[in-house]
Homo-oligomer: A and B are copies of this chain.
Amino acid sequence: MSTFDARPIGVFDSGIGGLTVLRELLKAFPHENFIYLGDTARLPYGSKSAPTVRKYSEQNMNFLLSKNVKAIVVACNTASTQISESVFEGIPVYNVIDPGAQLAAETTQNKNVAVLATRATVKANNYEVKIKKLNPSINVFSVACPLFVPLAEEGWHDDAITDQVAEKYLSELKNKNIDTVVLACTHYPLLKKPISKVFHSAVKLIDSGHAISLILEKDFKQGSILAAEKNNQQKQLTVYLTDSGAHFENLSTQLLTNYTQSKIVFETVSVI
């Protein structure tokens, strides 16, 4: 039996937000093969109900399984609120909430953590429950920021309007002495600059992609999943989108440039 496994790791999100996770994974594991699925025909998930998000996520995971993946990364916080299992049809599944909660609990010094997320993720409340399970003395302040996703998708990552939206959503956190902020939506790393500005001082921003890389690294070391060979060179990175359209392809190319040497190939697919 081989001690290597060249099968790809499958990553999915409702749209392009999960590319911030894929970028971190590409950086951390340059020898691995990845495939990405963006469910752009049904995005966004953040305003949809729990059963609908669960159904869409299962369809996405079944699609990735049909592509013979060795692991699945749920690169969407809203989807992660509904996928708590660590195995799906025999394949290991990584959601972004457990790693983010763990890294936040390890990072905070003064025990005041903010969680910024979509309305659905805030409502599901998983971060607070998980962080408090790790350390009950941590105070968790969750704030829904529904306009952050459309602002990120509009490309207004460093704009006076985005600064004001951030100020409006986050001003209630200013007197909470926050030292750690969980970017609990995979779009939000694109807005690191305006979010940091609100807090002035040096808060630590927890990025889901970085958090999940740390967990995967541990699992590779422990052998619970097998890595690709060190000399493996990914030739092609396939991005599957459930809807066609130049807008998302352009944004994806822009977000992945500098993170991969591979040719990026786009394919429109149905997951239903």
Contact = CB atoms under 8 A, between A and B. Distances in A.
Interface residues of A, number: 27
Contact of A147 (B41, B154, B245): B154
A143 to B, nearest CB: 14
Contacts of A161: 161, 164-165, 168
A218 B41 CA distance: 37
Interface in A160-197: 160-161, 164-165, 168
A197 to B, nearest CB: 15
Interface in A27-71: 40-43, 47-49, 51-52
A73 interface: no
A151 interface: yes
Nearest to A242: B52
B168 A49 contact: no
A47 B244 CA distance: 10
Interface of A: 40-43, 47-49, 51-52, 119, 146-147, 149-151, 153-154, 160-161, 164-165, 168, 243-245, 247, 272
B49 A243 contact: yes
Contacts of A119: 247
Contact of A49 (B42, B165, B245): B245
Given A40-B47, A146-B154, 13 more contacts: A40-B48, A41-B42, A47-B153, A47-B245, A47-B247, A49-B244, A52-B243, A147-B150, A149-B150, A160-B164, A161-B161, A161-B165, A161-B168
A52 B48 contact: no
Nearest to A268: B49
Contact of A243 (B48, B147, B151): B48
Interface centre among A52, A151, A153, by most chain B C-beta atoms within 10 angstroms, is A52
Considering the complex of A and B, which 5 residue pairs feature the smallest CB-CB distances, nearest first?
A: A150-B150, A49-B244, A49-B245, A49-B243, A52-B243
A118 to B, nearest CB: 11
Contact of A151 (B42, B147, B245): B147
A244 B55 CA distance: 13
Nearest to A148: B150
A160 B161 CA distance: 10
Contacts of A147: 147, 150-151, 154
Contacts of A146: 150, 153-154
